[in-house]
Structure 1
Amino acid sequence: MRLFRVALACALLVPGVPPVSAGAWLMPDGVGFASSTTRLTWPQDNALLGWRQPEGRYDTLYFEYGLGRRLTAGADLGRSISGGGKMLAFLRLPLKDDGALRASAELGLGRIDGAQALRPGLSLGLGGAQGWLNADLLFEMRGDAGTDYKLDLTLGLRLPRKLRMILQLQTGVQQGDPPFARFAPSLVVPLHPRIQAEVGASWGLSGDASAGLLLGLWTEF
């Protein structure tokens, strides 16, 4: 809790500097962001002994591009809340785009697990030069297959040497299943002025008995 209060205080002190690819902040006009990540998972009771044989692997590709000051377009490819494959394109519009507190809404269209899908979402963020807080709420609507829900809460801190620490609580509800929650911390390390690596882990807290390892690359252009 002390870390949370410190980050919140920093965010309130210095407004106007958004994190890379955070839902409440739109991309600047003509600026793009892309990331590719791989998440490996193991049962929590065998994560150390069985590290050579992951139980699951999830690859994702994410893209955003600023189409003017008040419109961001993007694509989200990989795995959905239910674990099925997803291919979605989306548009994001600002609801509040000035000051430390930001809000945006988005609408995604595409396919999830082979079915046509609509994905509306809402994001709220509080940011500053030293850190940010963000909440992303998404609804994956698949017609007769039902609707899945996802809420991610993210605390980010800007560290010396251009490092970034990300502490995320990932929660969701898949149609017909109990809710799940997992803790996913990561560290973002600069490799080049426009390329960064993300190394992280995850641990299921409720409704999820997995442990995970995340490796990713970010780029801005």
Structure 2
Amino acid sequence: MLLRYFAIVAFCMCASLVQAGAWPREQGSGFFSMSVRLGWPQDLEHWASTDPTDQYRTAYFEYGLTDRITLGFDIGNSVSGAGKAIAFVQFPIRNRDTGPKASLQFGLGQISGEKVVRPGLSLGWGLKKGWIGIDSFMEMSVDSLEADYKVDITWGRNLAKDRKLILQLQTGVQQGDPAFARIAPSLVFPILKRFNKRVKVETGATYGLTGDTSMGLKLGFWTEF
């Protein structure tokens, strides 16, 4: 209930105040990523085989239509694990040089064949050698008005040779289920430079803390253009 309350409060802040994150993308620039997360039970006694029991795949794209408006697509798995395809628009509501960045997002699409709306709020703080971000979303069915909530808290550290260390707390509430929380550390490093833009690989792991009895591995690819 506390997690549900926090998610609702985050969305209510939209009225008074937020993945692109909180930082707007510059006009004409873009970002694309693909990732897969494989999961297994934490209790090895429940393993029937070494095959993963969960698979989550995501393709994410965003493009700076202007310096203030970012368009994007989010395709893959939702909070519930069902297939999703969301188109969204995002714009900053606080973009000062000091203090937090804040952006609002509004998405439309489908999850498991049902029409959904997805409002979101992203907050971000730039650090001397990294950043902190809070990204919160609500995925609500247009027909039933039932909703799932997701809040991710990310700490990132810029390392030498264009590498990044990321530690993320992933939380959420699926309709009818208890809240979950998992920890997800990862390392990002460049593997290819083409047209002066680097392709990066993200490798990491996940481990359920509450409401999630799985552990997993994550592999992703990033590129900017």
Give the equivalent residue in structure 2 for 1:184.
Answer: 184
Residue 6 of structure 1 corresponds to none
Q: Which residue number in structure 2 is paired with residue 35 of structure 1?
A: 33
1:219 aligned partner: 223
The CA deviation at 1:181 is: 0.2
Q: Residues of 2 paired with 1:26 and 1:129: CA distance?
A: 19
SS of match in other structure, 1:191: strand
Partner residue of 2:136?
137
The CA deviation at 1:51 is 7.7
By how many angstroms is 1:133 displaced?
0.3
1:53-109 per-position Cα deviation (integer Å, ceiling 9, x unaligned): 111111110001001110000000000011110000000010111214200000000
Correspondence for 1:201: 205
* Corresponding residue to 1:79 among 77, 80, 84: 77
What is the alpha-carbon distance in structure 2 between the residues aligned to residue 99 and residue 138 of structure 1? 25
Counterpart in the other structure of 1:25:
23
Change (3 A) 1:54 1:105: same
How many residue pairs are counted as aligned between the two chains? 201
The equivalent residue for 1:117 is: 116
Deviation at 1:128, TM superposition (A): 3.6
- Tell me how far apart the structure 2 counterparts of residues 168 and 219 of structure 1 sit (CA, whole Å): 20
Q: Would the alpha carbon gap of residues 210 and 83 (structure 1) be closer, same or farther in structure 2, given more than 3 Å must change?
A: same
CA displacement 1:2-49 (0-9 Å, x = unmatched): xxxxxxxxxxxxxxxxxxx651011111000000001100001129x7
Give TM-score, length-normalised by structure 2.
0.85
Q: Which runs of 4+ in 1 moved over 6 A?
A: none
What value does the CA root-mean-square deviation take over the aligned residues? 1.7
* Cα distance between partner residues in 1 of 2:49 and 2:65: 43
- Alignment match of 2:68 (pick from 59, 67, 70): 70
Question: Contact between 1:184 and 1:203, CA under 8 Å: does it hold in 2?
Answer: yes
TM-score by length of 1: 0.87
Alignment partner, residue 9 of structure 1 = none
> Unpaired runs of 5+ in structure 1?
1-20
